[in-house]
Amino acid sequence: MPTLSQTAHAVATRRTRASEVLQACIARIEATEPRLNAFTGTRFEAALAQAAQIDARLSRGEAVGPLAGVPFAVKNLFDIAGEVTLAGSKVNRANPPAPADAVLVQRLQAAGAVLVGALNMDEYAYGFTTENSHEGPTHNPHRPGHSAGGSSGGCGAAVGGGQVPLALGSDTNGSIRVPASFCGVWGLKPTFGRLSRRGSFPFVASIDHLGPFADDAAGLALAYDALQGPDPLDPGCFATRVQPTHRALDQGVQGLRIGVLGGYFAEHANAPAREAVAQAAAALGARETVLWPFAAEARAAAFITSASEGGALHLQRLRERMGDFEPLSVDRFIAGALQPAAWYVRAQRFRRVYRDQVNALFRDWDLLIAPATPVPAPALGSEWIEINGQRLPCRPSIGLLTQPVSYAGCPVVAAPMWPSGTDGLPLGVQLIAAPWREDLALRAGRVLEQAGAARVKEALP
Protein backbone atom coordinates (compact mmCIF):
# COMPACT_ATOMS: atom_id res chain seq x y z
CA MET A 1 0.00 0.00 0.00
CA PRO A 2 1.21 3.57 -0.62
CA THR A 3 2.74 5.36 2.37
CA LEU A 4 1.46 8.59 3.87
CA SER A 5 3.79 10.81 1.86
CA GLN A 6 3.14 8.84 -1.34
CA THR A 7 -0.61 9.12 -0.84
CA ALA A 8 -0.46 12.87 -0.24
CA HIS A 9 1.62 13.35 -3.40
CA ALA A 10 -0.61 11.11 -5.51
CA VAL A 11 -3.77 12.96 -4.48
CA ALA A 12 -2.21 16.42 -4.90
CA THR A 13 -0.98 15.54 -8.41
CA ARG A 14 -4.35 13.91 -9.26
CA ARG A 15 -2.79 10.52 -9.93
CA THR A 16 -5.48 9.16 -7.65
CA ARG A 17 -8.62 10.52 -6.07
CA ALA A 18 -9.13 11.10 -2.36
CA SER A 19 -12.34 9.08 -2.58
CA GLU A 20 -10.46 6.09 -4.01
CA VAL A 21 -7.86 6.29 -1.24
CA LEU A 22 -10.58 6.40 1.38
CA GLN A 23 -12.54 3.50 -0.09
CA ALA A 24 -9.40 1.34 0.01
CA CYS A 25 -8.82 2.46 3.61
CA ILE A 26 -12.36 1.53 4.65
CA ALA A 27 -12.04 -1.87 2.99
CA ARG A 28 -8.78 -2.52 4.84
CA ILE A 29 -10.29 -1.50 8.19
CA GLU A 30 -13.30 -3.75 7.67
CA ALA A 31 -11.08 -6.68 6.67
CA THR A 32 -8.58 -6.39 9.54
CA GLU A 33 -10.54 -4.91 12.43
CA PRO A 34 -11.89 -8.26 13.71
CA ARG A 35 -8.28 -9.35 14.22
CA LEU A 36 -6.79 -6.07 15.52
CA ASN A 37 -9.56 -4.37 17.51
CA ALA A 38 -7.86 -1.02 16.98
CA PHE A 39 -10.97 1.13 16.50
CA THR A 40 -13.63 2.05 19.04
CA GLY A 41 -15.71 4.01 16.51
CA THR A 42 -15.72 4.95 12.84
CA ARG A 43 -17.20 7.87 10.89
CA PHE A 44 -17.05 6.63 7.32
CA GLU A 45 -20.00 8.64 6.03
CA ALA A 46 -18.51 11.97 7.10
CA ALA A 47 -15.11 10.88 5.78
CA LEU A 48 -16.54 10.03 2.36
CA ALA A 49 -18.13 13.47 2.20
CA GLN A 50 -14.84 15.15 3.10
CA ALA A 51 -12.94 13.11 0.48
CA ALA A 52 -15.51 14.09 -2.17
CA GLN A 53 -15.00 17.75 -1.29
CA ILE A 54 -11.24 17.38 -1.75
CA ASP A 55 -11.73 15.77 -5.15
CA ALA A 56 -14.11 18.57 -6.17
CA ARG A 57 -11.62 21.26 -5.14
CA LEU A 58 -8.83 19.57 -7.08
CA SER A 59 -11.04 19.28 -10.16
CA ARG A 60 -11.60 23.05 -9.99
CA GLY A 61 -7.87 23.66 -9.78
CA GLU A 62 -8.02 24.89 -6.19
CA ALA A 63 -5.12 24.47 -3.80
CA VAL A 64 -5.37 21.71 -1.22
CA GLY A 65 -3.41 21.09 1.96
CA PRO A 66 -0.20 19.05 2.24
CA LEU A 67 -2.13 16.07 3.68
CA ALA A 68 -5.04 16.18 1.22
CA GLY A 69 -6.76 12.81 1.00
CA VAL A 70 -4.68 11.13 3.72
CA PRO A 71 -6.93 9.06 6.03
CA PHE A 72 -6.22 9.35 9.75
CA ALA A 73 -7.64 8.22 13.07
CA VAL A 74 -7.19 9.49 16.61
CA LYS A 75 -6.79 7.98 20.05
CA ASN A 76 -10.18 8.23 21.68
CA LEU A 77 -9.03 10.86 24.17
CA PHE A 78 -9.21 13.51 21.39
CA ASP A 79 -12.48 15.40 21.04
CA ILE A 80 -14.42 14.66 17.85
CA ALA A 81 -17.37 16.99 17.35
CA GLY A 82 -20.64 15.21 18.08
CA GLU A 83 -18.95 12.20 19.70
CA VAL A 84 -18.39 11.33 23.36
CA THR A 85 -14.70 11.47 24.28
CA LEU A 86 -14.20 8.08 25.93
CA ALA A 87 -10.54 8.26 26.98
CA GLY A 88 -10.69 4.47 27.10
CA SER A 89 -13.17 4.48 29.97
CA LYS A 90 -16.65 3.30 30.86
CA VAL A 91 -17.23 6.26 33.17
CA ASN A 92 -16.97 8.83 30.37
CA ARG A 93 -19.75 7.21 28.35
CA ALA A 94 -22.25 9.27 30.34
CA ASN A 95 -20.62 12.53 29.24
CA PRO A 96 -22.20 14.78 26.59
CA PRO A 97 -20.74 14.74 23.05
CA ALA A 98 -17.83 17.05 22.34
CA PRO A 99 -19.00 20.40 20.90
CA ALA A 100 -15.95 20.75 18.64
CA ASP A 101 -12.94 18.86 17.34
CA ALA A 102 -9.69 19.00 19.30
CA VAL A 103 -7.25 21.62 18.03
CA LEU A 104 -4.88 19.04 16.53
CA VAL A 105 -7.76 17.25 14.82
CA GLN A 106 -8.79 20.59 13.32
CA ARG A 107 -5.26 21.24 12.11
CA LEU A 108 -4.94 17.87 10.38
CA GLN A 109 -8.31 18.36 8.69
CA ALA A 110 -7.32 21.88 7.64
CA ALA A 111 -4.28 20.30 5.98
CA GLY A 112 -6.64 18.00 4.05
CA ALA A 113 -6.37 14.81 6.11
CA VAL A 114 -9.60 12.79 6.36
CA LEU A 115 -10.74 11.61 9.79
CA VAL A 116 -12.07 8.03 9.76
CA GLY A 117 -12.53 7.24 13.45
CA ALA A 118 -11.34 6.86 17.05
CA LEU A 119 -8.85 4.32 18.39
CA ASN A 120 -8.56 2.04 21.41
CA MET A 121 -6.33 2.89 24.37
CA ASP A 122 -5.58 2.04 27.98
CA GLU A 123 -8.19 3.56 30.28
CA TYR A 124 -7.39 7.21 30.94
CA ALA A 125 -3.98 6.58 29.29
CA TYR A 126 -2.65 4.75 32.36
CA GLY A 127 -0.97 1.70 30.87
CA PHE A 128 1.48 0.30 28.35
CA THR A 129 -0.45 -2.62 26.79
CA THR A 130 -3.96 -1.48 25.67
CA GLU A 131 -5.60 -4.41 27.40
CA ASN A 132 -8.83 -2.50 27.79
CA SER A 133 -11.55 -4.36 29.70
CA HIS A 134 -14.32 -2.15 28.30
CA GLU A 135 -13.41 -2.34 24.60
CA GLY A 136 -11.29 -5.49 24.55
CA PRO A 137 -7.52 -5.66 23.97
CA THR A 138 -5.90 -4.35 20.83
CA HIS A 139 -3.71 -6.92 19.09
CA ASN A 140 -0.27 -6.51 17.57
CA PRO A 141 -0.58 -6.33 13.76
CA HIS A 142 2.47 -8.55 13.31
CA ARG A 143 1.48 -11.15 15.90
CA PRO A 144 -2.16 -11.34 17.01
CA GLY A 145 -2.30 -12.37 20.65
CA HIS A 146 0.62 -10.07 21.47
CA SER A 147 0.49 -6.52 22.78
CA ALA A 148 0.27 -3.49 20.52
CA GLY A 149 1.74 -1.40 23.34
CA GLY A 150 0.06 1.45 25.09
CA SER A 151 -1.48 3.59 26.01
CA SER A 152 -1.86 4.55 22.33
CA GLY A 153 -2.05 0.91 21.27
CA GLY A 154 -4.91 1.46 18.86
CA CYS A 155 -2.78 4.04 17.03
CA GLY A 156 0.20 1.73 16.67
CA ALA A 157 -1.95 -1.19 15.54
CA ALA A 158 -3.96 0.87 13.05
CA VAL A 159 -0.85 2.26 11.34
CA GLY A 160 1.14 -0.97 11.64
CA GLY A 161 -1.81 -2.97 10.33
CA GLY A 162 -2.19 -0.78 7.25
CA GLN A 163 -5.60 0.50 8.31
CA VAL A 164 -4.56 4.16 8.16
CA PRO A 165 -1.22 5.79 7.29
CA LEU A 166 -1.55 8.40 10.03
CA ALA A 167 -2.78 8.40 13.63
CA LEU A 168 -2.78 10.90 16.46
CA GLY A 169 -1.83 9.75 19.95
CA SER A 170 -0.52 10.93 23.30
CA ASP A 171 2.65 10.19 25.23
CA THR A 172 3.08 10.79 28.95
CA ASN A 173 5.57 8.10 29.93
CA GLY A 174 6.08 6.43 26.54
CA SER A 175 2.61 5.99 25.09
CA ILE A 176 3.63 6.90 21.53
CA ARG A 177 7.09 5.35 21.54
CA VAL A 178 6.08 1.99 23.06
CA PRO A 179 3.31 1.23 20.50
CA ALA A 180 5.58 2.48 17.70
CA SER A 181 8.27 0.05 18.86
CA PHE A 182 5.93 -2.92 19.29
CA CYS A 183 4.00 -2.33 16.04
CA GLY A 184 6.94 -1.35 13.82
CA VAL A 185 5.87 2.18 12.84
CA TRP A 186 7.18 5.72 13.09
CA GLY A 187 6.20 7.86 16.05
CA LEU A 188 7.03 11.35 17.29
CA LYS A 189 6.85 12.62 20.84
CA PRO A 190 7.52 16.34 20.39
CA THR A 191 9.07 18.71 22.89
CA PHE A 192 6.89 19.17 25.97
CA GLY A 193 4.63 22.15 25.28
CA ARG A 194 5.24 22.15 21.53
CA LEU A 195 1.72 21.14 20.41
CA SER A 196 -1.64 22.31 21.68
CA ARG A 197 -3.45 19.89 24.00
CA ARG A 198 -6.75 21.75 23.87
CA GLY A 199 -9.58 19.35 23.24
CA SER A 200 -7.83 16.26 24.58
CA PHE A 201 -8.62 14.40 27.81
CA PRO A 202 -5.64 14.80 30.20
CA PHE A 203 -3.74 12.24 32.22
CA VAL A 204 -0.73 14.04 33.77
CA ALA A 205 -0.82 17.70 32.81
CA SER A 206 2.83 18.31 33.69
CA ILE A 207 4.09 15.47 31.44
CA ASP A 208 1.43 14.90 28.74
CA HIS A 209 2.60 15.24 25.11
CA LEU A 210 0.56 14.79 21.92
CA GLY A 211 1.99 13.60 18.63
CA PRO A 212 1.64 11.61 15.40
CA PHE A 213 2.24 8.05 14.21
CA ALA A 214 2.99 7.45 10.52
CA ASP A 215 4.03 4.73 8.11
CA ASP A 216 7.03 6.62 6.72
CA ALA A 217 9.48 9.20 8.00
CA ALA A 218 8.60 11.83 5.39
CA GLY A 219 4.93 11.44 6.27
CA LEU A 220 5.73 11.83 9.96
CA ALA A 221 7.39 15.18 9.22
CA LEU A 222 4.50 16.30 7.01
CA ALA A 223 2.01 15.51 9.75
CA TYR A 224 4.10 17.15 12.46
CA ASP A 225 4.43 20.35 10.45
CA ALA A 226 0.64 20.45 9.98
CA LEU A 227 0.12 20.03 13.73
CA GLN A 228 2.40 22.90 14.73
CA GLY A 229 1.36 26.39 15.74
CA PRO A 230 0.86 28.58 18.81
CA ASP A 231 -2.35 28.28 20.80
CA PRO A 232 -2.92 31.25 23.11
CA LEU A 233 -5.96 29.46 24.61
CA ASP A 234 -3.83 26.55 25.84
CA PRO A 235 -1.62 27.65 28.75
CA GLY A 236 0.40 24.45 28.35
CA CYS A 237 1.39 25.24 24.74
CA PHE A 238 4.68 27.14 24.76
CA ALA A 239 5.29 27.30 21.01
CA THR A 240 5.47 30.82 19.61
CA ARG A 241 5.91 29.95 15.93
CA VAL A 242 5.89 27.15 13.39
CA GLN A 243 9.30 25.58 12.72
CA PRO A 244 8.91 23.47 9.55
CA THR A 245 10.85 20.22 9.34
CA HIS A 246 9.80 18.53 6.11
CA ARG A 247 11.68 20.82 3.72
CA ALA A 248 14.98 20.10 5.53
CA LEU A 249 14.32 16.38 5.94
CA ASP A 250 16.91 15.27 3.38
CA GLN A 251 19.79 17.32 4.76
CA GLY A 252 21.21 14.19 6.37
CA VAL A 253 23.24 13.96 9.55
CA GLN A 254 26.68 15.00 8.34
CA GLY A 255 28.24 17.25 10.96
CA LEU A 256 25.83 16.22 13.71
CA ARG A 257 27.30 14.93 16.96
CA ILE A 258 25.49 11.65 17.55
CA GLY A 259 26.05 9.39 20.54
CA VAL A 260 24.69 6.11 21.88
CA LEU A 261 23.19 6.02 25.34
CA GLY A 262 24.83 3.42 27.54
CA GLY A 263 24.69 2.72 31.28
CA TYR A 264 21.06 2.59 32.37
CA PHE A 265 19.81 2.28 28.77
CA ALA A 266 22.03 -0.72 28.03
CA GLU A 267 21.47 -2.38 31.40
CA HIS A 268 17.69 -2.31 30.93
CA ALA A 269 17.63 -3.60 27.35
CA ASN A 270 17.84 -7.19 26.16
CA ALA A 271 20.18 -8.27 23.36
CA PRO A 272 17.73 -7.57 20.48
CA ALA A 273 17.12 -4.03 21.77
CA ARG A 274 20.85 -3.42 21.99
CA GLU A 275 21.25 -4.82 18.48
CA ALA A 276 18.61 -2.41 17.16
CA VAL A 277 20.60 0.46 18.66
CA ALA A 278 23.83 -0.85 17.14
CA GLN A 279 22.21 -1.02 13.70
CA ALA A 280 20.92 2.54 14.01
CA ALA A 281 24.28 3.76 15.30
CA ALA A 282 26.13 2.18 12.38
CA ALA A 283 23.80 3.81 9.85
CA LEU A 284 24.13 7.20 11.54
CA GLY A 285 27.89 7.01 12.15
CA ALA A 286 27.57 7.11 15.96
CA ARG A 287 30.49 5.55 17.81
CA GLU A 288 30.74 7.08 21.28
CA THR A 289 28.82 5.97 24.35
CA VAL A 290 27.07 8.66 26.39
CA LEU A 291 25.61 8.47 29.91
CA TRP A 292 22.21 10.05 30.55
CA PRO A 293 22.10 11.77 33.96
CA PHE A 294 19.87 10.46 36.77
CA ALA A 295 17.87 8.10 34.54
CA ALA A 296 16.68 5.77 37.32
CA GLU A 297 15.80 8.69 39.59
CA ALA A 298 13.88 10.38 36.75
CA ARG A 299 11.85 7.24 36.17
CA ALA A 300 10.97 7.07 39.86
CA ALA A 301 10.00 10.75 39.86
CA ALA A 302 7.86 10.22 36.74
CA PHE A 303 6.02 7.39 38.52
CA ILE A 304 5.34 9.61 41.54
CA THR A 305 4.19 12.53 39.39
CA SER A 306 1.94 10.34 37.23
CA ALA A 307 0.33 8.62 40.20
CA SER A 308 -0.22 11.85 42.11
CA GLU A 309 -1.68 13.91 39.26
CA GLY A 310 -3.67 10.99 37.85
CA GLY A 311 -5.11 10.11 41.24
CA ALA A 312 -6.06 13.72 41.96
CA LEU A 313 -7.69 14.11 38.53
CA HIS A 314 -9.93 11.07 39.02
CA LEU A 315 -10.54 11.26 42.77
CA GLN A 316 -14.22 12.22 42.48
CA ARG A 317 -14.85 9.57 39.83
CA LEU A 318 -13.19 6.99 42.07
CA ARG A 319 -15.45 7.98 44.95
CA GLU A 320 -18.60 7.78 42.86
CA ARG A 321 -17.95 4.98 40.35
CA MET A 322 -14.91 2.99 41.40
CA GLY A 323 -16.50 -0.26 40.20
CA ASP A 324 -16.62 1.06 36.63
CA PHE A 325 -12.87 1.62 36.41
CA GLU A 326 -10.47 -0.66 34.56
CA PRO A 327 -9.24 -3.40 36.95
CA LEU A 328 -5.68 -2.98 35.66
CA SER A 329 -5.50 0.69 36.63
CA VAL A 330 -7.96 1.40 39.45
CA ASP A 331 -5.55 0.37 42.22
CA ARG A 332 -2.86 2.69 40.83
CA PHE A 333 -5.28 5.62 40.67
CA ILE A 334 -6.32 4.98 44.28
CA ALA A 335 -2.70 4.69 45.40
CA GLY A 336 -1.88 7.94 43.63
CA ALA A 337 -4.77 9.74 45.31
CA LEU A 338 -3.43 8.57 48.69
CA GLN A 339 0.19 9.44 47.95
CA PRO A 340 1.80 11.97 50.36
CA ALA A 341 2.01 15.47 48.92
CA ALA A 342 5.63 15.66 50.06
CA TRP A 343 6.57 12.98 47.53
CA TYR A 344 5.10 15.01 44.70
CA VAL A 345 6.83 18.21 45.83
CA ARG A 346 10.16 16.40 46.05
CA ALA A 347 9.70 14.94 42.54
CA GLN A 348 9.04 18.41 41.12
CA ARG A 349 12.10 19.87 42.83
CA PHE A 350 14.19 17.07 41.39
CA ARG A 351 12.71 17.68 37.96
CA ARG A 352 14.07 21.22 37.79
CA VAL A 353 17.59 20.01 38.55
CA TYR A 354 17.18 17.05 36.21
CA ARG A 355 16.14 19.15 33.24
CA ASP A 356 19.19 21.35 33.69
CA GLN A 357 21.44 18.27 33.70
CA VAL A 358 19.81 16.86 30.55
CA ASN A 359 19.93 20.18 28.71
CA ALA A 360 23.63 20.45 29.58
CA LEU A 361 24.18 17.09 27.90
CA PHE A 362 23.07 18.59 24.59
CA ARG A 363 25.84 21.17 24.65
CA ASP A 364 28.09 18.35 23.47
CA TRP A 365 25.62 16.20 21.51
CA ASP A 366 23.00 16.89 18.85
CA LEU A 367 21.32 13.51 18.91
CA LEU A 368 21.31 10.45 21.16
CA ILE A 369 20.21 6.90 20.32
CA ALA A 370 18.55 4.52 22.80
CA PRO A 371 16.22 1.52 22.63
CA ALA A 372 12.52 2.37 22.76
CA THR A 373 11.49 -0.77 24.68
CA PRO A 374 13.56 -3.36 26.57
CA VAL A 375 11.86 -6.25 24.74
CA PRO A 376 9.63 -6.83 21.71
CA ALA A 377 5.87 -7.09 22.19
CA PRO A 378 4.97 -9.60 24.93
CA ALA A 379 1.93 -11.82 24.74
CA LEU A 380 -1.30 -10.25 25.94
CA GLY A 381 -1.88 -11.07 29.59
CA SER A 382 1.83 -11.39 30.40
CA GLU A 383 2.58 -10.58 34.02
CA TRP A 384 6.38 -10.79 33.83
CA ILE A 385 9.18 -10.08 31.39
CA GLU A 386 12.86 -10.92 31.67
CA ILE A 387 15.48 -8.25 31.08
CA ASN A 388 19.10 -9.38 31.14
CA GLY A 389 18.25 -12.28 33.42
CA GLN A 390 16.13 -10.24 35.82
CA ARG A 391 12.43 -11.06 36.17
CA LEU A 392 10.37 -7.85 36.29
CA PRO A 393 6.65 -7.01 36.30
CA CYS A 394 5.59 -6.66 32.67
CA ARG A 395 3.33 -3.64 32.43
CA PRO A 396 5.36 -1.01 34.32
CA SER A 397 8.71 -2.31 33.04
CA ILE A 398 7.79 -1.73 29.40
CA GLY A 399 8.36 1.99 30.04
CA LEU A 400 11.80 1.63 31.61
CA LEU A 401 13.52 3.35 28.69
CA THR A 402 10.92 5.96 27.76
CA GLN A 403 9.99 7.46 31.14
CA PRO A 404 13.32 9.18 31.88
CA VAL A 405 13.23 10.94 28.50
CA SER A 406 9.61 12.10 28.88
CA TYR A 407 10.36 13.59 32.25
CA ALA A 408 12.98 15.84 30.64
CA GLY A 409 10.56 16.91 27.88
CA CYS A 410 12.96 16.16 25.01
CA PRO A 411 11.62 15.45 21.50
CA VAL A 412 11.97 11.86 20.32
CA VAL A 413 11.41 10.06 17.04
CA ALA A 414 10.67 6.36 17.46
CA ALA A 415 12.12 4.51 14.45
CA PRO A 416 10.94 0.99 13.50
CA MET A 417 13.80 -1.52 13.58
CA TRP A 418 13.84 -5.28 13.00
CA PRO A 419 16.74 -6.85 14.91
CA SER A 420 17.33 -10.57 15.14
CA GLY A 421 16.19 -12.61 18.12
CA THR A 422 12.63 -11.22 18.22
CA ASP A 423 10.90 -14.04 16.36
CA GLY A 424 10.02 -11.62 13.57
CA LEU A 425 8.63 -8.83 15.75
CA PRO A 426 9.82 -5.22 15.48
CA LEU A 427 11.70 -3.37 18.22
CA GLY A 428 12.22 0.36 17.84
CA VAL A 429 14.87 2.88 18.80
CA GLN A 430 14.55 6.38 20.22
CA LEU A 431 16.24 9.25 18.38
CA ILE A 432 16.47 11.90 21.09
CA ALA A 433 17.23 15.57 20.45
CA ALA A 434 17.47 18.71 22.55
CA PRO A 435 14.21 20.55 23.28
CA TRP A 436 12.75 22.27 20.20
CA ARG A 437 15.01 20.32 17.79
CA GLU A 438 12.52 17.85 16.36
CA ASP A 439 14.08 18.60 12.97
CA LEU A 440 17.31 16.80 13.90
CA ALA A 441 15.54 13.67 15.11
CA LEU A 442 13.39 13.59 11.96
CA ARG A 443 16.44 14.03 9.72
CA ALA A 444 18.13 11.11 11.44
CA GLY A 445 15.01 9.01 11.01
CA ARG A 446 14.97 9.80 7.32
CA VAL A 447 18.60 8.65 7.02
CA LEU A 448 17.74 5.37 8.73
CA GLU A 449 14.81 4.89 6.38
CA GLN A 450 16.82 5.65 3.25
CA ALA A 451 19.56 3.29 4.41
CA GLY A 452 17.00 0.52 4.89
CA ALA A 453 17.84 0.21 8.57
CA ALA A 454 14.41 1.44 9.72
CA ARG A 455 11.28 0.54 7.82
CA VAL A 456 7.62 -0.30 8.15
CA LYS A 457 6.86 -3.85 7.05
CA GLU A 458 3.56 -5.08 5.73
CA ALA A 459 1.57 -6.72 8.50
CA LEU A 460 0.15 -10.22 8.33
CA PRO A 461 -2.88 -10.44 6.01
Specify whether 151 is catalytic: yes
Phi/psi for 168 (5° steps) reads -120, 125
Query: Measured between alpha carbons, how far apart are the two ends of the chain, in Å?
Result: 12
**Residue among 19, 75, 206, 406 flagged as catalytic:** 75
Give the 3-state secondary structure of the chain: CCCHHHHHHHHHCCCCCHHHHHHHHHHHHHHHHHHHCCEEEECHHHHHHHHHHHHHHHHCCCCCCCCCCCEEEEECCECCCCCCCCCCCCHHHHCCCCCCCCHHHHHHHHCCCEEEEEECCCHHHCCCCCEECCCEECEECCEEEEECCCCCHHHHHHHHCCCCCEEEEEECCCCCHHHHHHHCCEEEECCCCCCCCCCECCCCCCCCEEEEEECCHHHHHHHHHHHCCCCCCCCCCCCCCCCCCHHHHHHCCCCCCEEEECCHHHHCCCHHHHHHHHHHHHHHCCCEEECCCCHHHHHHHHHHHHHHHHHHHCHHHHHHHHHHCCCCCHHHHHHHHHCCHHHHHHHHHHHHHHHHHHHHHCCCCCEEEEECCCCCCCECCCCEEEECCEEEEHHHHCCCCCHHHHHHCCCEEEECCCCCCCCCCCCCEEEEECCCCHHHHHHHHHHHHHCCCCCCCCCCC
Specify whether 175 is catalytic: yes
**Residue among 5, 152, 170, 175 flagged as catalytic:** 175
Specify whether 382 is catalytic: no
Is residue 115 within 8 A of residue 47, CB to CB? The reply is yes
**Residue among 151, 170, 196, 206 flagged as catalytic:** 151
Active site residues: 75, 151, 175
